[in-house]
């Protein structure tokens, strides 16, 4: 038997005007923009709901300005969004790779799209809450534009999970809002045994921790 109450309710749903339909269709279209990052030009697609969907955010740009990338990096971009950090790393590490991971399936999908759009094959893109789906592979580099409104417990999960994967000489770069810079200094020193502030801007701070190389 058909659900008559449901059919009655549908009669009372608001009908959108053609102009409203047109407006919504426009919002559903991919956002497209280009950016010059370090030595290369990139095309990006994104969508509403992702972080900084209309252009590269100030924090990511600051991190890229102070990031050392080796040709053979084995890297993870933690919380990749639509992929600017990880794609730059992969392009500048042709003998290595970068895994772009995020807990948001929309972010992962757009990272995959942008890797293909820019012709960067040495990437992986997959869902992961932090390192939860990243295997115990040896890494040389981890980067993250850390979200500002996340509990410190999650940061510690990120840091210790990175510690267990980074090889001697590996580095963990982060960019954070300035209000978190002192916490990062304490936590990096506690977890990795060292901390270096690379740049403090008006809004963001870039810092790095290193895994000390074994001495003979």
Q: What is the tens place of the pLDDT at every residue in 100-119? A: 999 999 999 999 999 999 99
Report the share of the chain in percent with pLDDT over 90. Answer: 81
pTM here is 0.89
For 28-51, what is the mean pLDDT?
Answer: 94
- For residue 4, what pLDDT is reported? 47
Give the CA count within 13 Å in the CB-facing half-sphere of 42: 28
Least confident of 90-99, 177-186, 205-214: 205-214
User: Which residues 6+ apart lie within 8 Å of 53 measured at CB?
Assistant: 31, 46, 47, 82
Dihedrals phi, psi of 147, to nearest 5 degrees = -65, 145
- Does 6 have pLDDT greater than 90? no
Helices of type H across the chain: 4-11, 18-28, 58-65, 84-92, 105-117, 152-163, 181-192
For 180-205, what is the mean pLDDT?
Answer: 97
CA distances from 78 to 20, 52, 175, 215 (A): 37, 16, 12, 29
Do 203 and 59 meet the contact criterion of CB atoms below 8 Å apart? yes
Residue corresponding to tokens 């980074």: 166
CA distance 96 to 111: 18
Domain 17-210 -> CATH class: alpha beta
Element (H, E) at 149: none
Least confident of 22-36, 137-151, 195-209: 22-36
Element (H, E) at 200: strand 196-200
User: Which residues 6+ apart lie within 8 Å of 3 measured at CB?
Assistant: none
Query: Which residue in 173, 166, 175, 174 sits closest to 211, CA to CA?
Result: 166
Least confident of 7-11, 41-45, 53-57: 7-11
């Amino acid at each position: 038997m058909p659900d008559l109450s449901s059919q009655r309710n549908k009669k009372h749903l608001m009908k959108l005007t053609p102009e409203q339909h047109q407006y919504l269709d426009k919002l559903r279209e991919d956002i497209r923009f280009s950016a010059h990052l370090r030595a290369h030009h990139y095309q990006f697609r994104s969508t509403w709901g992702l972080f900084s969907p209309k252009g590269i955010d100030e924090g990511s740009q600051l991190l890229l300005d102070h990031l050392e990338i080796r040709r053979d990096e084995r890297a993870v971009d933690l919380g990749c969004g639509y992929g600017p950090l990880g794609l730059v790393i992969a392009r500048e590490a042709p003998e290595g790779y970068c895994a772009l991971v995020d807990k948001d399936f929309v972010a992962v999908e757009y990272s995959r799209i942008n890797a293909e759009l820019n012709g960067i094959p040495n990437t992986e893109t997959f869902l992961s809450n932090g390192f939860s789906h990243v295997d115990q592979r040896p890494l040389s580099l981890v980067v993250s534009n850390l979200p500002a409104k996340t509990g410190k417990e999650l940061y510690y999960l990120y840091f210790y999970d990175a510690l267990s994967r980074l090889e001697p000489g590996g580095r963990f770069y982060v960019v954070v809002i300035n209000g978190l810079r002192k916490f990062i200094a304490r936590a990096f020193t506690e977890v990795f045994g060292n901390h270096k502030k690379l740049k403090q801007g008006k809004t963001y701070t870039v810092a790095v921790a290193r895994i000390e190389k074994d001495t003979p």
